[in-house]
Each structure stands twice: as C-alpha cells, then as structure tokens.
Amino acid sequence: MAAELEYESVLCVKPDVSVYRIPPRASNRGYRASDWKLDQPDWTGRLRITSKGKIAYIKLEDKVSGELFAQAPVEQYPGIAVETVTDSSRYFVIRIQDGTGRSAFIGIGFTDRGDAFDFNVSLQDHFKWVKQETEISKESQEMDSRPKLDLGFKEGQTIKLSIGNITTKKGGASKPRTAGAGGLSLLPPPPGGKVTVPPPSSVAISNHVTPPPIPKSNHGGSDADILLDLDSPASVTTPAPAPVSASNDLWGDFSTASSSVPNQAPQPSNWVQF
C-alpha cells in the first residue's frame, strides 16, 4: 500500500544517448569502451532517470514517441546495476531488466562529456538522500524504543523546599524607598548645595526713564541745589532717604524744582518733561 502511494519524480533527462552491445568481461579489471564498436551504435534515443521511493530507474526511450526501449532499476550506486568503464568518463555499463526477471548488460555513451557528468551526479545525489532518510528513520526508531522518563509526581508524593532568611548586612530591615509622583524615587541633592532663586525679572517701561531716589539734604538747601548735586560727577555719601507718604507724587519735587529756577539751562534729551 505504501509503494502505491509513492510518486515518481524525474531526476535527469538527456536527449541523446547511444547504446552498444558489449562482449563479456574477460577479467576482473573492468569494462573497456575501446572494445566496443563506438562508431556503430546499436540504438540511439533519449535517456531519462526517475525515482520512486528509494529506487532509481534508468529509462531508455524513443526520441519522438517516448516509447520505452529498456529500463534499468538501480537500488545502490555505485553498484552492479551501473558501472563505469576504465578508459573513459563518457561510457557506462548498465544492467537492464524486463518484467519477466531476465537481465542483460549493455553499454551506453554520451557525445557530450557534460551529459555524462550530469548522469553520474544525479545518481549520487539520489542515493545520498536515501542514506540520510535511512539514518533519520533509524534514529527515530531508536528514540521510540527507549524507555520514557516519568518525571511526574506519584499519588501522595510531596516535595519540601528550604529557603533561608534573607537579611541585610546590618541585620535590620531595609528602609523603604520614598517614591515621588508617578512611583519614581526622588534623589537627594548633592552635599553642600544651595538652591538659588533668581531675582524676578524687571520689565522696563517704554518711553520712560526711572529716576534715581531723591536724597534729603541735611543742611537745608533748596530744590535747585538738589538738581546741582545730581549733575555733579563727585560721589557724595548721603544717608538713606526719609520715608515718603503714599499720597505724595514722586514726580512732584522735580516739577517744583523746575518752576522755582527761572534761568535753568535746557534739559538733556534723555530727560522727559512733564
């Protein structure tokens, strides 16, 4: 039943092959193609190598009709079914068989040396595959024949595990790590580091110049003297200005001083008059 399910595959096809009747082998040295009538082949046609299961078949067929002329089953290569000659690489001796069990040895030859090489390699590759398949099936049978290990627990069987106490180096419990937002731990600042807060940025008022603070003179000078002191290049150390009530306008002193001095020179362009 398994042989019927096997399919036939084609390994090699050569369109030109010559067949020769060969004389009986005279000694154990092998066949010699020079003993054949190479210029007068007995038959010419097409050679096809097929395989079905582990057996390869060399089939000699007619070029036009494809009718089978002879067939040589090959169960082993190299072997008695296919032999090479001793004096050439283009000629072989094959053993053909018919359905009645009769067999005969004939010689075949290829005009092109590359065709002979393909014929030889096709048979070698097939039986290399057969050897690998045989080894794989043998290993699988050995694995099935081995006793299987039963690693499961039997009924009522128990197991005991002993795990020692895990303690820290100081013998105490480890402190839990504080986690911040999102479950991430917060790292402490570096030692001696101070967090400096930058001063608030001041926005300058456009088209206005902030005047300097007005110092109060202790010797009772007039408002004109105050303006002269501001224009003088020499630095004068003055005490802190007295507090001014919130109701008085900061710019009132400047407007009063400008009105009390009639002969005051024109103010620079960087001062704004009110």
Q: What is the pLDDT of residues 154-210, one digit of tens each?
A: 788 888 888 877 655 555 555 555 555 555 556 666 666 555 656 655 444 444 555
Q: Is 257 left (phi over 0), alpha (psi -120 to 50) or beta?
A: alpha
- 27-69 pLDDT, tens digit each: 777 888 988 989 999 999 999 999 998 999 999 999 999 899 9
| Whole-number Å distance between alpha carbons of 274 and 85 | 129
Structure tokens at 162: 């002993």
Structure tokens at 21: 């009747």
Q: Domains, the chain, ranges and CATH?
A: 8-141 (2.30.29.30)
Q: Report the SS3 class of residue 9.
A: strand
Whether pTM > 0.85 for this model: the answer is: no
Residue 106 phi, psi dihedral angles, 5° rounding: -130, 160
Strands of 55-61's sheet, edge to edge? 68-74, 55-61, 43-52, 8-20, 103-109, 91-97, 82-84
